[in-house]
Amino acid sequence: MSLARALFAPRAVALIGASGDAAKNTARPQRFLRRHGYTGRVVPVNPTRGEVLGEKAYPSLAEAPEGIEHAFVMAPGEAVERALEDCGRRGVPVMSIFSDGFADSGPAGAARQARLVERARALGVRLLGPNSMGVVNLPGRLALTVNAVLEMDSPPAGTTSMVSQSGTMLGTVLSRGAARGQGFSKLISVGNESDLGVGELVELLADDPETRVILLFLETVRDAARLAAAARRAHAAGKPVVAYKLGRSALGAALARSHTGALAGSDRAMDAWFRDCGIVRVDMLETLIEIAPLLAGRAPPAPGRAPRVAVVTTTGGGAASVVDRMGALGIETMPNESGAPIVDLTMSATPEKYAAALESLLAAPACDAVLAVVGSSAQFHPQLAVEPILSARAGAKPLAAYLTPHAEKSLALLAGAGVAAFRTPEACADAFAAYFAWRAPRARPAGSGPAWPAGVPRSGALDAAQALRLIAALGIPVAESTVAQPPGYAHAIPYPVAAKLIAPGLEHKTEAGAVALGISGQGELEANIGAMLKHAGRAQPQAILVQRMESGLAEAIAGYREDPLVGPVVIAGAGGVLAELHGDFALRLAPVSEREASEMIEEVKGLAPIRGYRKLPKGDLAALAAAVAALSRLALVPGRPVAEAEVNPLVVKANGVVAVDALVVLREGT
């Protein structure tokens, strides 16, 4: 039996810990399965009752009938472990666990979970959870969940599926979608992801013929590699994957950490990772619910000029609220014949006029998408403008509607016709922004990494001289340097020079008094070295890095590091304190090609002066891109020994760039 069949369409389900009290959470799966028309066999397991809610119950799974394909465990404590043994013995392929007290509750629980998973592997039983609210399959009429939202009458079936790290949010998405006629196919609450994780479930959905769009509610990412592979598989199958992920703010990240126990990566890295594996990230929760029809059956848009949306409306103010928000997200509108930014039919709309405007915008090559806004008429007079939208032929061009009043019937009409319809101007603009940012999964540059230079250690922190040697080995030009020895500090670098203390992992050298710049001769060099050593509390004279002074048009930063969730990333930014204060950098998963590095450089505001802003002289952006791409190839070094590397400053000249200083920290134990 396939895993998908056992998870989503089991012929018989055991409910372990099913309560006979209909008001209890643990009575819900049985009530919900019956209420929503499950056609398979339901087997309540309850040690103290021969009958549960009118159906024959069994004291344990061991005594239950043959043919159970999915066990749902709600019983607390050791009952979970006992149920697993029974599943193993009876050949039940999947056990979903609602019970908590595992990785969700501290180190002892985590250890208990690890033992459970080990035993499940040995027994050949796959686990969903613990701490999972279960699985819903609407076309398959399986409501195997404790989520109270299934009290609703006939949730509509559809072709959108969802994997959620929050059981509640699964219900939220289902109930809000249902209220406006949006249907769903599979909804899975993954709980602690002890065995079946988001990635494997997305794989199943990528292969699921009833699923066209896959939604993710994420608090963390526990297995980035598997989810990335699954997203690529979904892309290949023509199925968009959309994610709402918490942790955009430091407070949210801290909460997600305390809630999931997972490490927190940086949100910027997560953003880059989503884009890299072709996942559409939305900013707002309701966009996750509303965006599916905008993406279903469509391919990622081609990158190019700023995207342009044509807008037709029966309300100027209503359209303006979306347009204003889209403008803030970098989206433009297509001007109408008289140059106005929207086609405003306020007061003059008729069904024929609205339909004609819509058709002409959908046919216009100058716009990339069409937004149809409907005002007060949407609530009680759908024939005026909602019905023309239903009959519009969108084809490949995305069409979305925003209705200003409370208009659930019209929303349901649009959902029924497969038109994306938005309740708020903000989610509507968010969806367009997410759509236009959507890219096919990126093929990362292949090839092997640079050879590790001789004499540079492969663990611990590197000193300034070693770090520069590694940077040079990557192919990045480095300021002419030498290690000068005491006494005398003889060297062959022409003056003026810089002198730097050699110490591993020394950050903020200038502020630490570990660097002296613009030294014009031998005497000054020795005096500066003496002062540096004294400041650093070194009693003995020691070797010093002497470096040629470099200057250029601007200073940039190139960085590389291992993100704890998504792996190696590369950063390009402007130099200096201000760029740091403004978070003004571009980030991608490493490695990147030189073309991708050029795109990164374009994104950095602080590099505008060397792009010709205010007619300032242009810097060698190609050389800067080459250096960023070269640094990113640290991701290709076997074993990825580098935890963090930063070239700062990287001096940008009219011709070429040169690395003046570098900080490299290696991973422990590599």
Q: Which is nearer to a copy of itself, 48 or 348 (CB)?
A: 348
In angstroms, rounded to a whole number, what is the distance separating the alpha carbons of residues 357 and 373?
12
Q: Which is nearer to a copy of itself, 131 or 194 (CB)?
A: 131
577 binds a copy of itself (CB under 8 A): yes
Q: Name the nearest CA neighbour of 14 among 59, 54, 77.
A: 59
* Beta strand spans in 17-74 (E): 41-45, 51-52, 55-56, 70-73
- Candidate list 89, 485, 613, 654; residue touching a copy of itself; CB under 8 A: 613
In angstroms, rounded to a whole number, what is the distance separating the alpha carbons of residues 246 and 249?
8
Query: Which residues inside 190-219 make contact with a copy of itself, applying CB under 8 A?
Result: 217, 219
Is the CB of residue 184 less than 8 Å from the CB of residue 269? no
Return the axis-axis angle of helices 198-206 and 224-236, rounded to nearest 10°: 10
In this structure, what token pair is assigned to residue 559? 């960085």
Contact segment (CB under 8 A) with a copy of itself among 351-359, 489-497, 611-619, 645-653 equals 611-619
Query: Which residues inside 219-238 make contact with a copy of itself, applying CB under 8 A?
Result: 219
- Candidate list 1, 254, 527, 531; residue touching a copy of itself; CB under 8 A: 254
Q: Are strands 308-313 and 241-245 parallel, antiparallel or unpaired?
A: unpaired
Q: How far is CA 626 from CA 561, 595, 663, in A?
A: 18, 9, 19
- Candidate list 332, 387, 599, 644; residue touching a copy of itself; CB under 8 A: 332
Q: Which is nearer to a copy of itself, 160 or 482 (CB)?
A: 160
In angstroms, rounded to a whole number, what is the distance separating the alpha carbons of residues 31 and 455?
70
Task: Output the smallest distance, CB 526 to a copy of itself, in A.
Answer: 28
Give the count of residues interacting with a copy of itself (CB under 8 A). Answer: 91
Residue 184, C-beta contacts closer than 8 angstroms, at least 6 positions apart: 136, 138, 155, 156, 157, 158, 160, 161, 162, 173, 174, 177
Q: Which is nearer to a copy of itself, 463 or 555 (CB)?
A: 555
169 binds a copy of itself (CB under 8 A): yes
What is the 3 state secondary structure string of 287-318? HHHHCHHHHCCCCCCCCCCCCEEEEEECCHHH
138 binds a copy of itself (CB under 8 A): no
151 binds a copy of itself (CB under 8 A): yes
355 binds a copy of itself (CB under 8 A): no
The edge-to-edge listing of strands for the beta sheet with 481-484 is 481-484, 544-548, 497-501, 515-519
Q: Which is nearer to a copy of itself, 256 or 465 (CB)?
A: 256
Q: Which is nearer to a copy of itself, 96 or 377 (CB)?
A: 377
Query: Which residues inside 72-131 make contact with a copy of itself, applying CB under 8 A?
Result: 100
Dihedral sign computed on CA atoms, order 23, 28, 30, 32:
positive
Contact segment (CB under 8 A) with a copy of itself among 241-249, 355-363, 470-478, 634-642 equals 241-249
Q: Which is nearer to a copy of itself, 346 or 522 (CB)?
A: 346
- Candidate list 256, 264, 456, 501; residue touching a copy of itself; CB under 8 A: 256
608 binds a copy of itself (CB under 8 A): yes
504 binds a copy of itself (CB under 8 A): no
In angstroms, rounded to a whole number, what is the distance separating the alpha carbons of residues 213 and 219?
20
- Candidate list 328, 363, 440, 527; residue touching a copy of itself; CB under 8 A: 328
526 binds a copy of itself (CB under 8 A): no
Q: Which is nearer to a copy of itself, 176 or 640 (CB)?
A: 176
When computed from its CA atoms, the radius of gyration of the chain, rounded to whole angstroms, is 30
515 binds a copy of itself (CB under 8 A): no
344 binds a copy of itself (CB under 8 A): yes
Task: Output the smallest distance, CB 507 to a copy of itself, in A.
Answer: 11
In Å, how far from its chain's centre is CA 419?
Answer: 25
- Kindly report each contact of residues 266-270 with a partner whose C-beta sits within 8 Å and lies 24 or more positions away, as own/partner: 266/563, 268/587, 269/563, 269/565, 269/566, 269/569, 269/587, 269/589, 270/221, 270/245, 270/565, 270/566
**How many CA atoms lie less than 13 Å away from 501 in the CB half-sphere?**
26
- Candidate list 20, 301, 341, 416; residue touching a copy of itself; CB under 8 A: 341
Task: Output the smallest distance, CB 332 to a copy of itself, in A.
Answer: 7
Specify burial of residue 615 (Cβ count, 10 A radius: 0-12, 13-18, 19+). exposed
Residue position matching structure tokens 């009752």: 49
325 binds a copy of itself (CB under 8 A): yes
Residue position matching structure tokens 């008429």: 377
668 binds a copy of itself (CB under 8 A): no
Q: Which is nearer to a copy of itself, 88 or 101 (CB)?
A: 101
Contact segment (CB under 8 A) with a copy of itself among 14-22, 279-287, 434-442, 541-549 equals 279-287
Task: Output the smallest distance, CB 670 to a copy of itself, in A.
Answer: 31
166 binds a copy of itself (CB under 8 A): yes
- Say whether 348 sits in a helix, a strand or coil: coil
- Candidate list 487, 492, 508, 523; residue touching a copy of itself; CB under 8 A: 508
Q: Name the nearest CA neighbour of 553 among 619, 604, 647.
A: 619
In this structure, what token pair is assigned to residue 432? 């367009």
- Candidate list 360, 379, 542, 670; residue touching a copy of itself; CB under 8 A: 379
Q: Which is nearer to a copy of itself, 373 or 643 (CB)?
A: 373
In angstroms, rounded to a whole number, what is the distance separating the alpha carbons of residues 296 and 301?
13
Contact segment (CB under 8 A) with a copy of itself among 65-73, 413-421, 525-533, 602-610 equals 602-610
Specify burial of residue 95 (Cβ count, 10 A radius: 0-12, 13-18, 19+). buried
Contact segment (CB under 8 A) with a copy of itself among 51-59, 268-276, 454-462, 610-618 equals 610-618
- Candidate list 29, 278, 388, 425; residue touching a copy of itself; CB under 8 A: 425
**In one letter, which amino acid is 410?**
S
518 binds a copy of itself (CB under 8 A): no
In angstroms, rounded to a whole number, what is the distance separating the alpha carbons of residues 283 and 278?
16
Residue 475, C-beta contacts closer than 8 angstroms, at least 6 positions apart: 450, 626, 630
Q: Which is nearer to a copy of itself, 286 or 596 (CB)?
A: 286
Ramachandran assignment for 101, one of left (phi > 0), alpha (psi -120 to 50 degrees), beta (any other): left
Specify burial of residue 173 (Cβ count, 10 A radius: 0-12, 13-18, 19+). buried
Task: Output the smallest distance, CB 326 to a copy of itself, in A.
Answer: 7
Query: Which residues inside 285-324 make contact with a copy of itself, applying CB under 8 A?
Result: 285-286, 314-321, 323-324
Contact segment (CB under 8 A) with a copy of itself among 351-359, 490-498, 608-616, 624-632 equals 608-616
Task: Output the smallest distance, CB 591 to a copy of itself, in A.
Answer: 29
- Candidate list 164, 194, 211, 482; residue touching a copy of itself; CB under 8 A: 164
366 binds a copy of itself (CB under 8 A): no
- Candidate list 140, 183, 247, 477; residue touching a copy of itself; CB under 8 A: 247
Is the CB of residue 14 less than 8 Å from the CB of residue 43? yes
Q: Which is nearer to a copy of itself, 260 or 528 (CB)?
A: 260
Task: Output the smallest distance, CB 493 to a copy of itself, in A.
Answer: 28
In angstroms, rounded to a whole number, what is the distance separating the alpha carbons of residues 513 and 520?
18
